[in-house]
Amino acid sequence: MSGPHTDKMFSGSIPKLYESHLVPLIFDAYAEDLARRVALLPVSRVLEVAAGTGVLTRKLAAVLPADVAIVATDLNQPMLDLAAELGTQRRIEWRQADAMRLPFEDAEFDAVICQFGAMFFPEKSTAYSEARRVLKPGGVFIFNVWDRIEENEFADTVTKALEPLFPNDPPRFLARTPHGYNDVAVIERDLRHAGFSAAPDVNTVAARSQAASARAPAVAYCQGTPLRNEIEARDTSRLGEATDLAERAISQQFGLGPVDGKIQAHIIAVQR
């Protein structure tokens, strides 16, 4: 079976493929963007939630002063294990934690940061309320979410390419979860319900997703995300076929050599 209950399962070979393929494809540019925003804030202690394999953590470690404490958490221990293995040049406190129930005292942090994790929270307002609780008065919660899938060309192409493979039950992970929480009005409502009274600052930022060939994004999405769980739940033997289909579709749309597609996300900052 697959669906929302498997959308948070980043295990097996997914973490390493996620880091090697998906991080350079879509996450690096936005991690740099978030790190720059945090570097402008007066912070002494920063919490990152849903840190994944640590792409943003490494950027934060590079730009924040050495005396700023960084705590990086993730729900999935395999992702966190790889993040810790990759490491940084400075000390990071790595900690397994559920964003819905953060294991920290009230008002511990000057900033709470989350890169592309909010879409996976089962109850967004609950997670936002936890972020608010651990923030000091005047502290800032900064996070980003993907815009709708039509604004993210490789993800859209892969999703459409897999529909003929499983016509009665096409895998919809990418549209349902990573790109399923893109309505700014809904995000603002969820923040209000979480207790944030200040109006959030919202920026929509487009970037480019580039790879040496169509194979890289095909593997990234089909094998380095929980889309893999959906494909294998339908037929374990067809993962390679699904990846090949995605590769052909990307090649047809973006060319046989290096590929370049649009990606787009919302960056949200709100003060406690």
135-170 pLDDT tens trace: 999 999 999 999 999 999 999 999 999 999 999 999
The pLDDT value given to residue 196: 98
Q: Determine the pLDDT at residue 7.
A: 45
Q: Establish how many alpha carbons lie within 13 A of residue 255's alpha carbon, considering only the half-sphere containing its beta carbon.
A: 9
d(CA 21, CA 13): 12
Q: What is the pLDDT of residue 201?
A: 98
In the chain, domain spans: 4-271
Cα dihedral 175, 22, 183, 181 sign: positive
Give the tokens for residue 270.
Answer: 């709100």
**CATH number of this structure's domain 4-271, picked from the four choices 3.30.420.40, 3.50.50.60, 3.40.50.150, 2.40.50.140:** 3.40.50.150
pLDDT attached to residue 14: 77
Percent of the chain with pLDDT over 90: 92
Please give the pLDDT value at position 12. Answer: 59
**Burial code of 172-198, b = ≥16 C-beta within 10 A, e = fewer?**
bbbbbbbbbbbeeeebbebbbebebee
Q: Is the pLDDT of residue 5 over 90?
A: no
Q: Where are the beta strands (DSSP E) in 21-134?
A: 45-49, 69-74, 93-96, 109-115
pLDDT of residue 167: 96
pLDDT confidence of residue 112: 98
**Phi, psi angles (nearest 5°) of residue 158:** -65, -45
pTM as predicted: 0.93
Average pLDDT over residues 89-116: 97
pLDDT tens profile 199-257: 999 999 999 999 999 999 999 999 999 999 999 999 999 999 999 999 999 999 999 99
Q: What is the pLDDT of residues 24-42, one digit of tens each?
A: 999 999 999 999 999 999 9
**Within 13 Å, how many C-alpha atoms sit on residue 6's CB side?**
18
Least confident of 18-27, 54-63, 171-180, 238-247: 18-27
pLDDT at 3 over 70: no
Least confident span in 80-89, 105-114, 261-270: 80-89
State the average pLDDT over residues 119-140. Answer: 97
